[in-house]
Amino acid sequence: MRQVILVAAAFAALAVSALSPTASATAALQSEATIQRGFDVATGGTLRVDADFGSIEVTTSDANRVEVTVSREVRDRYRDDEQQILAELQVDVSQSGNDVVVVAEASEDARERWRDEYRNTPVQMRFAIRVPRAYNVDLETAGGSIEVSDLEGEARSSTAGGSLRFGNIEGSVWARTAGGNIVLDGSSGTADVRTSGGSITIGAVDGTVDAETSGGSIRIDRAGADVRARTSGGGIEVEEVRGAIDASTAGGTVRATITERPAGDCRLSTSGGSVVVTLAGGIAVDIDASSGGGGSVSSDFEVDGRVRRTSIEGAINGGGPQLHLRTSGGSIRIRRR
């Protein structure tokens, strides 16, 4: 009779487990140091990652599939508490239509315990994700670097402490970091990138560029439309801009090459360096250039107007949009390409 009861109980337990696979799978998911999930999707979907911390790397393939690997490694000194720490760091990987969502977070209670007992975050985390080549990404981490390879889609990324790196993006790019460099190989759309503590390097962008940093240099190879560039501690260099440009720095030289007649007025200024502008030979602009630091102002073009040692006001090739050039501590050069 006892054996019958035990067998019946075993079958009952199996039945309960079969009725609730999600709960048992979630429990297993949280206890594993490495989590791997795969989803069949169609192109054009979006990968969303929202993590309390950890680096994110996104690569692409020709397969219509998203492969997610989340690696969690408890620091050696805390290995005795590994199972509890992993259980406190909740990871959820799910699919909604063609979208895949990855959420990794620790509760406030867990974070308080980590601060009290460990004085820091006791676990390191890394997201390695492969998506279809034609896919969108929306990535956010509160502490770690983000890297996205060549992609046919929109790319949004933000981190509170790490660098951002993008390949060639056939779409627009939006990027924010509070403490790291930003590198973008290229974009067929617009580029809106900002960092509070690093340099910005951008290749060729077909659309507008809005780049801002509080502590580094800015370099842009080519912009097919307007450029806005701001830095408080570095130089600015734009190799080729086909639209209007507004660039200013408090601590470096500003260099720009304008290859077509600007769609609007342009402003280039620095408080601690020189301004060098190179113009295609036939561009028609009005010049308003002045050095407040005693530096010289010169032009390779004939200027119809007033030319002095420290300022130039007048028209080049009949005049057009205004080229407003200012420096408080250097010279200004207007060169012919």
Q: What is the pLDDT of residues 200-245, one digit of tens each?
A: 999 999 999 999 999 899 999 999 999 999 999 899 999 999 999 9
| DSSP structure string for 11-60 | HHHHHHHHH-HHHHHHHHHHH-SEEEEEEE--TT-EEEEEESS-EEEEEE
HSE on the CB side for 18, CA within 13 Å? 6
Residue 240: CB atoms within 10 A of its CB come to: 19
* Residue 256, CA distances (Å) to 11, 97, 109, 127, 291 in order: 76, 46, 52, 39, 17
| pLDDT over threshold 50, residue 199 | yes
Biggest CA–CA distance in the chain, Å, is: 112
- d(CA 51, CA 67) in angstroms, rounded, equals 17
pLDDT tens per residue across span 98-152: 999 999 999 999 999 999 999 889 999 999 999 999 999 999 999 999 999 999 9
- The owner of tokens 């429990």 is 27
- What phi, psi does 85 have (nearest 5°)? -65, -45
Domain ranges of the chain: 30-152
Per mean pLDDT, which range of 18-27, 80-89, 117-126, 167-176 is the poorest?
A: 18-27
In sequence order, which residues have a C-beta less than 8 Å from that of residue 315 and are 6 or more positions away? Answer: 284, 285, 286, 287, 303, 304, 305
| Whether pLDDT at 247 is above 50 | yes
Low-confidence winner among 23-27, 163-167, 202-206, 209-213 (lowest mean pLDDT): 23-27
Mean per-residue pLDDT of the chain: 90
CA-based nearest residue to 106, from 72, 130, 57:
72
Residue 30 pLDDT grade (very low, low, confident, very high; cuts 50, 70, 90): low
Give dist(CA 251, CA 178) in Å, integer. 20
Average pLDDT over residues 48-71: 97
Q: DSSP labels for 186-254? A: EESS-EEEEESSS-EEEEEESS-EEEEESSS-EEEEEESS-EEEEESSS-EEEEEESS-EEEEESSS-E
